[in-house]
Amino acid sequence: MEFKIKEALLNNSEELFGIQVEEKLIQFQKTRKDVEGDLTLVIFPFVKVLKCSPIEAGEKIGAFVKENTSNIESYSVVGGFLNIVIDSSYWISALSEIDKNDRYGFGEPDSKSTIMVEYSSPNTNKPLHLGHLRNNFLGYSVAEILKANGHKVIKTQIINDRGIHICKSMLAWQKFSPLNEKGERETPGNTGIKGDKLVGKYYVVFDKHLMIEANAIIDQWNAEDFGYTDETVSAEFNRLDESKAGKEEKTIKGIDSKIKELAKNQTSILREAKEMLIRWEGRDPETYLLWTTMNSWVYTGFESTYKAMGVDFDKLYYESDTFLLGKDLVDEGLSKDVFYRKDDGSVWIDLSDEGLDEKLVLRSDGTAVYMTQDVGTAVDRFKDYSDLEGMIYTVGNEQDHHFKVLFLILKKLGYDWSENCSHLSYGMVELPKGQGRMKSREGTVVDADDLMESIVDSAREMTQERGHLDGMSEEDREALFELIGMGGLKYFLLKVDPKKRIVFDPTNPEAIELNGNTGPYIQYAHARIKSLLAKADGIGELKDVDLHPIEKEILKQLSGFPNTMNEAAKNHSPALIANYMYELVKLYNTFFQSIPVHIEEKQELKDMRLILSRNVAKVIGLGMTLLGVKVPERM
């Protein structure tokens, strides 16, 4: 309808306005809920052209639109806004078109540019946690939304399988894993512990021993016993320690934190981990065998977690491969004066002209940093996919600076496609106040497997209490519990704008409540409609009937689905889809509670309402699929 009105105004511009107006003057917006209308045209841009008051301009344009555009029932002018009422036949026609299309709102597959979406990208020294859930659900959903809009999409992750973090787990396992009666160290096979959790256990063990050693060193320093400590290190300790005098408690804590980091770097256990990293990069056979063994445990664990999450990937990249490409690119950048080498042998880039700082790209011992592998990975991906036009990195907002630097480095190295790389920067998932912060090295994270299992258990308990499970097999019941639990969790984490942080309480079943803006609320509406349709004794043809206001509101909402999908793709925001679904279901529930369907005596009205219901269910199914959420036939 917007297009029809715009076309009528542009084609008759000189007759109506005396001049040919520009298309940008014709602006529509949603009609306020306190006035009658289905569409609102902003009148203010035409006041100057018509040289009259907004009310006079609105009346003139309203009369013209009603006379020259079909399906306009009436109009009213409120202030500088023309509120247009569209007749029932237009909405019935719209319903007919929606009903014909099983993939309503979806674009032609692979009709648009190829985009790669990176998400998850875990470290192999620990299991996935609550933060990874938001990351995976968000990245997967954005990929599905882009695909639904016609893009060819490649889902990927970079597995951070090398570096000091994995060496910490490897070393701790070597040093501290107990031997069983067969003389074997702990493995997933002989303990029954999930592989990623076993490796994560030893990452925590490493940190505990690191802190014991670091605290002992600090005690020695406080006793003025510097032993074999380097003079520059002891001088730095003294400087920091003296700087605490007269400072506030918060400042002293910050200084103590710096002293702790200074001490950590003097520990023998951290030195051993760094030496192990150098041996790994040199492909030392024993170190490499330990690395492949422990990583294989982790990959098996990740695979089962991803299956439970309901996410997948088209292509996997490994940091252990791409960091070498990154090191080659560092050499290339040195020859082009993009990078420079310091006296200690480390390699840096100076981005001060771009308002940033200096950034390390290669350590003095020749080992790579995250930036090194990210540069290598990006270049490798564009080599792998010749039609790739852009990349989206789904990474938390604490890495905003990292990606600004990454894209600048790629640009300075001469890769123009870096302009099409973007960082989907999302807010962190935090625990409620008083529950502390999540820290992997301290073992205080909310484990993803445990959380998913817990929320499915809660869904099982709440669903059994409500009943309505008669006639369902045990297998079907368990599938329903998982569908409700995981649907609730995904929806809870996706309904919030990605840029905003989320406070999530794992002990509170709010996400699986049947009321409010929750996944189960929407799932239940779908099941209710499916039950309604199953009871129908056939559905006749759709005919012109007068619509109740709530029926028209539902049709307006359904008509907005394609635009919502487009906006969600443009903004990389599943939240737009989630909240669209919530508004649609609220409207439908109002309709269901106030308008008779099966007891309606007029067959034409009954058929229309059943067809309307059928298409609400269809759009719920399509939209929730984009969020990775399944909807039930029965609930």
| Residue 324 neighbours by CB distance under 10 Å | 15
- The identity of residue 415, as a single letter, is Y
CA angle 18, 24, 29 (to 5 degrees): 110
Classify domain 130-229+266-320+373-430 at the CATH class level.
alpha beta
CA angle 179, 181, 186 (to 5 degrees): 35
Q: Which of 206-210, 347-351, 470-474 has the lowest mean pLDDT?
A: 470-474
pLDDT greater than 90 at residue 322: no
Q: Write out pLDDT tens, residues 30-54.
A: 899 899 999 999 999 999 889 999 9
Report whether 492 contacts 504 (CB < 8 A).
yes
Q: Write out pLDDT tens, residues 281-295.
A: 889 999 999 999 999
- DSSP secondary structure string, 553-602? HHHHHHHTHHHHHHHHHHHT-HHHHHHHHHHHHHHHHHHHHHS-STT-S-
Q: Write out pLDDT tens, residues 570-593.
A: 999 999 999 999 999 999 999 999
In percent, the amount of the chain with pLDDT more than 70 equals: 98
CATH number of 2-86: 3.30.1360.70
Q: Write out pLDDT tens, residues 451-467.
A: 999 999 999 998 888 87
- Say what the pLDDT of residue 438 is: 46
Q: Write out pLDDT tens, residues 102-129.
A: 999 999 999 999 999 999 999 999 999 9
Report whether 39 contacts 31 (CB < 8 A).
yes
Q: How confident is the model at residue 351 (pLDDT cuts 50, 70, 90)?
A: very high
Q: Where are the domains of the chain?
A: 2-86, 130-229+266-320+373-430, 454-626
Q: What is the mean pLDDT of residues 271-278?
A: 95
Cα–Cα distance between 203 and 214 in angstroms, integer?
Answer: 16
Cα–Cα distance between 318 and 430 in angstroms, integer?
Answer: 28
Report whether 115 contacts 392 (CB < 8 A).
yes
Q: What is the mean pLDDT of residues 236-251?
A: 94
Q: How confident is the model at residue 471 (pLDDT cuts 50, 70, 90)?
A: confident
Cα–Cα distance between 78 and 585 in angstroms, integer?
Answer: 30
Report which of 482, 454, 118, 525 is spatially closest to residue 310, judged by C-alpha positions.
Answer: 482
pLDDT greater than 90 at residue 614: yes
Q: 454-626 domain in CATH 1.10.730.10?
A: yes
Higher pLDDT, 533 or 431: 533
Backbone φ and ψ of 310, nearest 5°: 80, 30
Cα–Cα distance between 379 and 374 in angstroms, integer?
Answer: 9
- Say what the pLDDT of residue 441 is: 47
- Say what the pLDDT of residue 228 is: 84
Q: Write out pLDDT tens, residues 356-379.
A: 999 999 999 888 888 998 999 999
The CB-side HSE value for 47 (13 A sphere, CA atoms) comes to 11
- Say what the pLDDT of residue 434 is: 57
158: three-class secondary structure by DSSP: strand
Q: What is the mean pLDDT of residues 409-420?
A: 95
470: Cβ–Cβ under 8 A, 6 or more apart, which residues?
A: none
- The identity of residue 43, as a single letter, is I
Q: What is the mean pLDDT of residues 1-8?
A: 92
- Say what the pLDDT of residue 444 is: 56
Backbone φ and ψ of 318, nearest 5°: -120, 130
- Say what the pLDDT of residue 259 is: 96
Q: What is the 3-state secondary structure (H, E, C) of 315-332?
A: EEEEHHHHHHHHHHHHHH
Q: How confident is the model at residue 440 (pLDDT cuts 50, 70, 90)?
A: very low
Report whether 116 contacts 156 (CB < 8 A).
yes
- State the average pLDDT for the chain: 94
Alpha helices in 223-310 (DSSP H): 231-242, 249-264, 268-281, 285-309
pLDDT greater than 50 at residue 342: yes
Cα–Cα distance between 166 and 160 in angstroms, integer?
Answer: 9
pLDDT greater than 80 at residue 436: no
Q: How confident is the model at residue 595 (pLDDT cuts 50, 70, 90)?
A: very high
